[in-house]
Chain A
């Protein structure tokens, strides 16, 4: 047993640590990311004698993380409003299918049609959530299952799949052998989201709607417009992620983006965005996506079976949210 003063001192230290964590989630996430990289490196050296942390591997990590990063961006916007988009993986897959299907008709139109498909599905989600006030979880789960059904119908039909050159080079190539080309898409989008959330009126409204819908309605925010635009943007970002995946995998199939559904939620949650809305940002989400990608590499290096990955994902979501919940509760 420790004495009372020790306990109080210990609590003070814990409190300070919590406060630090609450104020600087990004710092903590960077520490976690670096720690994971070091662990992966050590394990890899132990297993194959090769280092894991090389420029080549780091660039591969970025390349692989980009689609997740874009999906998580969409998820992030929706989650800031207090919603969630569980149809996001099917939106990405649908966009990839549309692009591959229209590939013959020209690169520009194929890509625009793919993005359009994403936006339209996002619009359906948005209308359900904002106008009909359906719980976002149910609306997007329902839209997701309808999309999956439609996709399995069309996937069964034979059609010519052409992947535009631009899409495949975006998905796989690197400048000078090290810088992934897909950063050309991801980096500007990330910058736009981070700055937009901070400085644009619409960005602030997303937070306001998520934090307190009644107050924002009374302040004159048209909540339904904010929500619909949020889901449309989410659909667009998901479509972009789907195209990167299409380029990366090289062939559209039904399970193209499905493995990214729950990681997209996990990346946002790990990145410190509240699932209840109104709190968080995209900077943390990027780190969340990178952490999950490195974690997957670590499990691959360890030759970890699929079930370990699933259990780890699940536990991580709970543990990270618990930490954030404690930290923000101590304010």
Chain B
């Protein structure tokens, strides 16, 4: 080997590695590019200041970000969770009903309790899926009713709330900067879940189980435990979604969580998670959650009737999913 070849070869390896990285993550990169491309248009429509608008965008996107992450974890593990929306609704009413008169310290403890509870709720769903061997979609469809029913029991009509300091915290900014705390919250949760799924053994086994259950079993992974674990993580994230809903909407509403079932599925599909399992991450879905929220924000800022905005968003989701379907088909054949 001559000395001149080495740097050249290293360069080649570097380029190849970049290409590989881009091929693997093309979809995620595209999602964030779309989001960035939407920003100038948004600025041309909006009349408010960027920092104010951005803060509202993040606050508006907060519940959906958590819902999308929750759905992504389960779908990557090879399942699907239709009860995401109603579990978020349940945690929303639970927190709003009992937190309303608490001091900040107690409220924060209660938030932790809620996260544990929703983690247990997710674990229950996972255990039912694993022990009964009923398809995930049926179990979670059933749990959709169950959690919605429990939410109605907790709070029949919208009401409740959270301590003012908690609102101020979630809706405020870091010190004197214009970085919203909500963004920090998303980043921290996202970072901790993403790193643990990507780098820790139990997290990686979620990918293994999702891409090929038998192969995962044969390579010594505890499939049932991993699937239950994915549902438990999903539950915790739903709990966060519920808390986010309470602190951004100022109230508990048993029906408020409903939209997050469809929207979380839409966000993960747009975010590059394959419904067949084992493919995708948490970065794309969060980007997609921001895009979906931004579409709605832009439509509302342009003065579109909210009902029309819902229709346009729905049509956009359908069209994107159709194109995704076509691309996936082309990729397969």
A141 to B266: give the CA distance in the assembly, Å.
10
A262 at the interface (CB under 8 A from B): yes
Kindly state whether residue B148 has any CB partner on chain A within 8 Å: yes
B275 to chain A: which residues have CB within 8 Å?
Answer: 135, 138
Q: What is the bound-complex CA distance between A145 and B307, given in angstroms? A: 10
Cα–Cα, bound, A262→B328 (Å): 30
Pairwise interchain contact B307-A149, C-beta atoms closer than 8 A: yes
Number of A-B contacts (CB under 8 A): 140
Q: Which residues of B contact A308 (CB under 8 A)?
A: 149
The interface bits of chain B over 117-151 (1 if a CB of A lies within 8 angstroms of the residue's CB, else 0) are 00000000000100011110111011111111111
A159 within 8 A of B: no
A308 to B151, CA, bound (A): 11
Task: Say yes or no for A192: interface residue by CB 8 A criterion.
Answer: no
Q: Could you say which residues of chain B place their CB within 8 Å of the CB of A184?
A: none
* Chain A: number of interface residues, binned into ranges: 35 or more
Chain B residues, CB < 8 A from A310: 145-146, 148-149, 152
Complexed CA–CA distance, A145 and B151 (Å): 22
Residues of A within 8 A of B317 (CB): 142
Q: Does B305 contact A (CB under 8 A)?
A: yes
Question: Interface readout for A297-331 with B: 1 if CB under 8 Å, 0 if not?
Answer: 00000000111111111111110011001000100
B169 CB-CB contact with A under 8 Å: no
User: A317 near B138 (CB under 8 angstroms)?
Assistant: yes
Residue among B139, B150, B152, B325 making CB contact with A134, cutoff 8 Å? B325
A132 touches B325 (CB 8 A): yes
Stretch at the interface among A40-48, A102-110, A150-158: A150-158
B247 → chain A closest CB, angstroms: 25
User: Is A321 touching B138 in the complex (CB atoms < 8 A)?
Assistant: yes
Residue B314 CB within 8 A of the other chain: yes
Give chain A's interface secondary structure class.
helix
Is A207 an interface residue when CB atoms closer than 8 A count as contact?
no
| CB of B310 within 8 Å of the partner chain | yes
The answer to whether B153 and A325 touch across the interface, beta carbons within 8 angstroms, is no
* Chain B at the A interface: SS class: helix
User: Could you say which residues of chain B place their CB within 8 Å of the CB of A148?
Assistant: 310
Please measure, in the bound complex, the distance between the C-alpha atom of A68 and the C-alpha atom of B250, giving whole angstroms.
37
A85 to chain B, nearest CB (A): 13
> Size range of the interface on B?
35 or more
Q: Which residue in A143, A276, A314 is a CB contact (below 8 Å) of B146?
A: A314
- Candidate in B317, B318, B321, B328 with the most chain A CB atoms within 10 angstroms: B318
Instruction: State how many angstroms separate the Cβ of B49 from the closest Cβ of chain A.
Output: 31
Q: Are B308 and A307 in contact (CB under 8 A)?
A: no
The answer to whether the Cβ of B329 comes within 8 Å of any Cβ in the partner chain is yes
- B328 / chain A contacts, CB cutoff of 8 Å: 133
User: Quick check: A141 and B307 within 8 Å, CB to CB?
Assistant: no
The answer to whether A128 and B318 touch across the interface, beta carbons within 8 angstroms, is yes
Q: Write the nearest CB–CB distance from B309 to chain A, whole angstroms.
A: 8
A139 in the interface (beta carbon within 8 A): yes
CB distance A307 to B150 under 8 Å?
yes
Given contacts A145-B262, A149-B308, A318-B132, contact A139 B138 (CB under 8 A): no
Cα A143 to Cα B262 with chains together (Å): 11
Chain A residues, CB < 8 A from B36: none
- A contact residues around B132 at 8 Å (CB): 318, 321-322, 325
B24 within 8 A of A: no
Q: Is B84 an interface residue (CB 8 A)?
A: no
Nearest CB of chain B from residue A144's CB, rounded to whole Å: 8
Indicate if A14 sits at the interface (CB-CB under 8 A): no
Q: Across the interface, do B321 and A275 meet the contact criterion of CB distance under 8 Å?
A: no
Centre residue among A132, A153, A308 by max chain B CB count within 10 A:
A132
Contact between B152 and A275 (Cβ–Cβ < 8 Å)?
no
Contacts of A314 in B (CB 8 A): 141-149
Tell me the complex Cα distance, A316–B145, Å: 10
A166 interface contact, C-beta 8 A: no
Partner of A139 from the list B141, B146, B318 (CB cut-off 8 Å) is B318
* B322 CB-CB contact with A under 8 Å: yes
Set of chain B residues within 8 Å of A322, measured between Cβ atoms:
132, 134
Q: Is the Cβ of B314 less than 8 Å from the Cβ of A138?
A: no
Q: In the complex, what distance in Å separates the CA atom of A255 from the CA atom of B314?
A: 19
Q: Are B314 and A134 in contact (CB under 8 A)?
A: no
Residue in A closest to B83 when the chains form the complex, CB atoms: A314
Q: Would you give 21 A-B contacts (Cβ < 8 Å), ordered by A?
A: A132-B321, A132-B325, A133-B326, A133-B329, A139-B318, A141-B261, A142-B262, A142-B318, A143-B314, A148-B310, A149-B307, A276-B135, A305-B152, A305-B153, A307-B149, A308-B149, A310-B149, A314-B146, A314-B147, A318-B139, A321-B132
Q: Which 8 A-B pairs have the closest CB atoms?
A: A314-B145, A310-B149, A311-B149, A149-B311, A146-B314, A307-B152, A314-B146, A149-B310
Binding site for A on B (CB under 8 A): 80, 82, 128, 132-135, 137-139, 141-153, 156, 261-262, 265-266, 269, 275, 305, 307-308, 310-311, 313-315, 317-318, 321-322, 324-326, 328-329
Chain A residues in the interface with B (C-beta under 8 A): 84, 128, 132-135, 137-139, 141-143, 145-146, 148-150, 152-153, 156, 262, 265, 269, 275-276, 305-318, 321-322, 325, 329
